[in-house]
Amino acid sequence: MKKYDEIFKKSITDPEGFWGEVARDIDWFKKWDSVLDGSNKPFYRWFSGGEMNTCYNAVDRHVKNGRADQVAIIYDSPVTNTIQKITYKELLDQVSRFAGVLKGLGVSKGDTVIIYMPMVPQAAVAMLACSRLGAVHSVVFGGFAPHELAIRIDDARPKVIVTASGAIEGRKVLEYKPMVNKAIELATHKPGKCVVYQRAIVKAEMTEGRDYDWDEMIKAAEPAECVPVKATDPLYILYTSGTTGKPKGIVRDNGGHAVALRWSFENIYNVKPGEVYWSASDVGWVVGHSYIIYGPLLTGCTTIIFEGKPVGTPDPGAFWRVISQHGVKVLFTAPTAFRAIKRDDPNGEYLRKYDLGGFRYLFLAGERLDPDTYHWASKLLDRPVIDHWWQTETGWPITANCMGIEAFPVKPGSSTKPVPGFDVQILDINGNPVSAGTEGLVAIKLPLPPGTLPTLWKAEQRFLEAYINPLPGYYFTSDGGYIDEDGYVFVMGRVDDVINVAGHRLSTGEMEEIISTHKDIAECAVFGAEDGLKGQVPVGLAVLKTGVERAEGEVQQELVRMIREEIGAIACFKQAAVVKRLPKTRSGKILRATMRKIADGKEYSVPSTIDDPAILGEIEEALKKIGYAKR
Residues forming contacts to ligand AMP in the complex (CB under 6 A) are 240, 286, 365-369, 387-392, 415, 479, 491, 494, 500, 505
Select from ligand COA, ligand AMP, none the partner in contact with residue 337, using the beta carbon and a kind-dependent cut-off of 5 to 8 Å.
ligand COA
- Given candidates 74, 101, 139, 502, which one binds ligand COA under the rule CB under 6 A? 502
**Is 285 a binder of ligand COA (CB under 6 A)?**
yes
Binding partner of 143, given ligand COA, ligand AMP, none, CB within 5-8 angstroms per partner class: ligand COA
> Residue 15 or 295: which CB sits closer to ligand COA?
295
Handedness of CA 71, 73, 76, 80 (dihedral sign): negative
Q: Which of ligand AMP, ligand COA, none does 420 bind, CB closer than 5 to 8 A by kind?
A: none
Would you count residue 309 as binding ligand COA (CB under 6 A)? yes
195-144-286 Cα angle (round to 5): 85
- Residues in a beta bridge with 253: 234
CB of 535 to ligand COA, least distance (A): 10
* Kind plus residue range of the DSSP H or E element containing 475: strand 474-483
Which of ligand COA, ligand AMP, none is residue 471 near (CB under 5 to 8 Å by kind)?
A: none
By CB under 6 A, the count of residues binding ligand COA is 25
> Where do runs of H (alpha helix) occur along 253-358?
255-267, 286-288, 295-299, 318-326, 335-344
153, 311, 403, 448: which one contacts ligand COA (CB under 6 A)? 311
* Angstrom distance (rounded) from CA 570 to CA 144: 7
Q: CB neighbours (10 Å) of residue 606?
A: 11
- The partner in contact with residue 160, picked from ligand COA, ligand AMP, none with C-beta cut-offs of 5 to 8 angstroms by kind, is none
92 sits near ligand COA (criterion: CB under 6 A): no
- Cα 537 to Cα 442: distance, rounded to the nearest angstrom: 23
| 289 near ligand COA, judged by CB under 6 A | no
The three-point CA angle 526-560-249 to 5° equals 60
Asked if 167 contacts 204 with a C-beta cutoff of 8 angstroms, the reply is no
**What is the DSSP track for 17-30?**
HHHHHHGGGS--SB
Q: Select the span of 211-219, 427-435, 439-447, 569-577 touching ligand COA (CB under 6 A).
A: 569-577
287 binds ligand COA (CB under 6 A): yes
Contact status: 503 vs ligand COA (CB under 6 A): yes
Rounded CA gap, 512 and 538, in Å? 11
| Member of 53, 77, 87, 333 binding ligand COA (CB under 6 A) | 333
Q: Which does 311 bind (CB under 5 to 8 A by kind): ligand COA, ligand AMP, none?
A: ligand COA
DSSP 8-state symbol, 311:
S
Cα angle 377-381-387, degrees, rounded to a multiple of 5: 45
Q: Is 310 in the site for ligand COA (CB under 6 A)?
A: yes
Give, in order, the Cα–Cα distances in Å from 189 to each of 144, 184, 186: 18, 8, 9
Angle at 152 between CA 564 and CA 491, to 5 degrees: 75
CB of 241 to ligand AMP, least distance (A): 8
Task: Please give the Cα distance from 119 to 504 (Å, whole number).
Answer: 16
Q: With residue 167 as reference, give the H or E element that holds it.
A: strand 166-169
| 627 phi-psi bin (left φ>0, alpha ψ -120 to 50, beta other) | left
Residues 521-550: x where in contact with ligand COA by CB under 6 A, - otherwise, as a string: ------------x-----------------
333 interface partner picked from ligand COA, ligand AMP, none, CB below 5 to 8 A per type: ligand COA
Closest CA to 330 of 368, 308, 352, 356: 356
With CB under 6 A as the contact rule, the residue among 42, 50, 100, 143 that binds ligand COA is 143
386 binds ligand COA (CB under 6 A): no
CB of 503 to ligand COA, least distance (A): 3
In degrees rounded to 5, what are phi and psi of residue 302? -105, 125
Among 25, 27, 90, 169, interactor with ligand COA by CB under 6 A: 169
Segment 398 to 427, residues that bind ligand COA, using CB under 6 A: none
Q: Is 366 in the site for ligand COA (CB under 6 A)?
A: yes
Cα–Cα distance measured from residue 495 to residue 26, given in angstroms and rounded to the nearest whole number: 37
Considering beta carbons, is residue 480 or 601 the nearer one to ligand AMP? Answer: 480
Contact 239, 137 (CB under 8 A): no
- Residue 364 interacting with ligand COA (CB under 6 A): no
For residue 174, the partner it binds in ligand AMP, ligand COA, none, with Cβ less than 5 to 8 A by kind, is: ligand COA
Q: Which residue stretch of 60-68, 71-79, 120-128, 277-285 sits at the interface with ligand COA (rule: CB under 6 A)?
A: 277-285
Residue 569: contacted member of ligand AMP, ligand COA, none (CB under 5 to 8 Å, by partner type): ligand COA
| Per CB under 6 A, 201 contacts ligand COA | no
Is 572 among the residues that bind ligand COA (CB under 6 A)? yes
Residue 368 binding partner per list ligand COA, ligand AMP, none, with a CB distance cut-off of 5 to 8 Å that depends on partner kind = ligand AMP
Q: Tell me the closest approach of the beta carbon of residue 148 to ligand COA, in angstroms.
A: 11
Q: Work out whether 281 is an interface residue with ligand COA (CB under 6 A).
A: yes
Q: How far is the CB of 388 from ligand AMP (least distance, A)?
A: 6
Residue 303 or 416 with smaller CB distance to ligand AMP: 416
Contacting ligand COA within 17-76 (CB under 6 A): none
* Least separation in angstroms between CB 499 and ligand AMP: 9
Sort strands 112-116 and 136-139 into parallel, antiparallel or unpaired: parallel
CB of 333 or CB of 425, closer to ligand COA: 333
Neighbours of 585 (CB within 10 A): 13
Q: Counting every residue, how long is the chain?
A: 631
The residues pairing with 250 across neighbouring beta strands, listed in sequence order, are 238, 456
- DSSP character for 429? T
CB of 142 to ligand COA, least distance (A): 4
Give the residue from 235, 287, 285 showing the smallest Cα distance to 112.
235
Collect all residues with Cβ–Cβ distance below 8 Å to 158 and sequence separation of at least 6. 111, 112, 113, 114, 138, 189, 191
Task: Please report how close the Cβ of residue 103 comes to ligand AMP at its closest, in angstroms.
Answer: 32
> How many other CB atoms sit within 10 Å of the CB of residue 601?
16
Rounded-to-10 torsion of CA 252, 257, 258, 264: -140
Q: How far apart are CA 124 and CA 283, in angstroms?
A: 8
Closest CA to 170 of 344, 308, 10, 28: 308
Q: Minimum Å distance from CB 533 to ligand COA?
A: 6
Choose the contact partner of 387 out of ligand COA, ligand AMP, none; CB within 5 to 8 A by kind. ligand AMP
98 belongs to the binding site for ligand COA (CB under 6 A): no
Q: Residue numbers of the site for ligand COA (CB under 6 A)?
A: 142-143, 167, 169-170, 174, 280-281, 285, 287, 309-311, 333-334, 336-337, 340, 366, 502-503, 533, 569-570, 572
